[in-house]
Amino acid sequence: MHVSRAIILPKLILILKRKSMRTKLLLFLLGVLCSYTNVLSQTTYFIKYASSVSVSEIDGKVLAKQVIPSGLNSLVNFNVNSVDYLAKDLGKQSEVLSRIIKITVDESIPETSVLNLKNIDPTIEYIEKSHEYKMDIVPNDSLVNEQWALEKIQAFDAWNKTEGDVSVLLAIIDTGIDYLHPDLQNKIYLNSGEIGTDSNGDDKRSNGIDDDGNGFVDDYRGWDFTDRVGFPFDSSGGDYLDWDNDPMDEQGHGTYIAGIAGAETNNIIGIAGVAPNIKLLNLRAFDPSGYGEEDDVAAAILYAVQMGARVINMSFGDDAFSLVLRDVISFA
């Protein structure tokens, strides 16, 4: 049974105020917990507007945090908690993607109520509830199945012609890659614009400056796009709350996939990648439990395009079609 925060919180506060001064800390923590629970209980939707809607109009909606047409509030029975660009506006260079915005509403709001917004606003092309993806479980044995697939796909014959080329950049959008793994540490793509020293003699990898001007600070070995909502005091939950420049794999799936694709060869350890001479762009969009949000995947795709990836690998799926990822992949 769902008990309204508005009902229970005042009563708890009244009880606690009657206690000694030692309860003040508990009162503070209770307030934090309740407010954060409210943040957790949200659902994300994407709204794509028709081509007749200008980019400046989209900007106005995001700036005003208002997607319900003026004068039609009485026809909508829910409030919008937040309004933002798709993938934090990474798609602004695309006329199509710049017309997609992301909103959040309370989890208790029925999906039909949000989707009904399209019926009262003719400028909306589609509204779609955000999908959540989940990685499959992978064994932790680096020699899983003894690589029978190399023979199956005739990789040994292919290697007589080519083992891939260092100029080919393969983006792995997954749970991240263990960039310290002995079979992969030399295969990770390093962004030359964020390596070396700056004019002050500081290491560009950690100087807190966007040296190459691509909108990402210190992204010298890829990027972590996970920004899933989670309880801030859970230090054991891993790195999943904010975008950052550390795409370390905390789950295992991404490292497994990266190894199949491009593990180093002729080093007497581990396995052999199908294309061992290529470089791997490490893009993390899934949390330590293997869950990923649709807009994080979209952001990773757009970043991969920006960085010049020739191929994008996404080893996950869903049982529902995504209009948003369709538009993002079409752009890519």
CA dihedral (112, 115, 121, 125) in degrees, to 10, reads -150
Closest CA to 184 of 250, 248, 251: 248
Residues 123 and 138 in one domain: no
Residues 125 and 143 in one domain: no
Q: What is the pLDDT of residue 237?
A: 56
Q: What is the mean pLDDT of residues 20-33?
A: 50
Residues 237 and 101 in one domain: no
Residue 74 pLDDT grade (very low, low, confident, very high; cuts 50, 70, 90): confident
Residue 1 has pLDDT above 90, yes or no: no
Residues 212 and 291 in one domain: yes
Residues 90 and 191 in one domain: no
Please tell me the total count of domains within the chain: 2
Task: Kindly report, residue by residue over 190-201, the tens digit of the pLDDT.
Answer: 999 999 999 999
Q: What is the pLDDT of residue 19?
A: 52
3-17, 45-59, 308-322: the lowest-pLDDT one? 3-17
Residues 96 and 241 in one domain: no
- CATH of residue 43's domain is 3.30.70
Q: Categorise residue 275: left if φ over 0, alpha if ψ from -120 to 50, beta otherwise.
A: beta
The residue out of 96, 130, 164 marking a domain boundary is: 130
The residue out of 100, 130, 160 marking a domain boundary is: 130
Question: Where in the sequence is the domain holding 153, given as residue range(s)?
Answer: 134-331
Residues 284 and 323 in one domain: yes
The residue out of 81, 111, 130 marking a domain boundary is: 130
Q: What is the pLDDT of residue 5?
A: 47
Identify the residue with better confidence: 296 or 269: 296
Q: Residue 99 carries which side chain, given as an amino acid letter?
A: R
Q: Residue 314 carries which side chain, given as an amino acid letter?
A: M
Residues 219 and 79 in one domain: no
Mean pLDDT of the chain: 85
Task: Kindly report, residue by residue over 75-125, the tens digit of the pLDDT.
Answer: 888 899 999 999 999 998 899 999 999 999 999 999 999 999 999 999 999
Q: In b/e form, how buried is each residue of 9-19, taking b as 16+ CB within 10 angstroms?
A: eeeeeeeeeee
Q: What is the mean pLDDT of residues 56-77?
A: 89
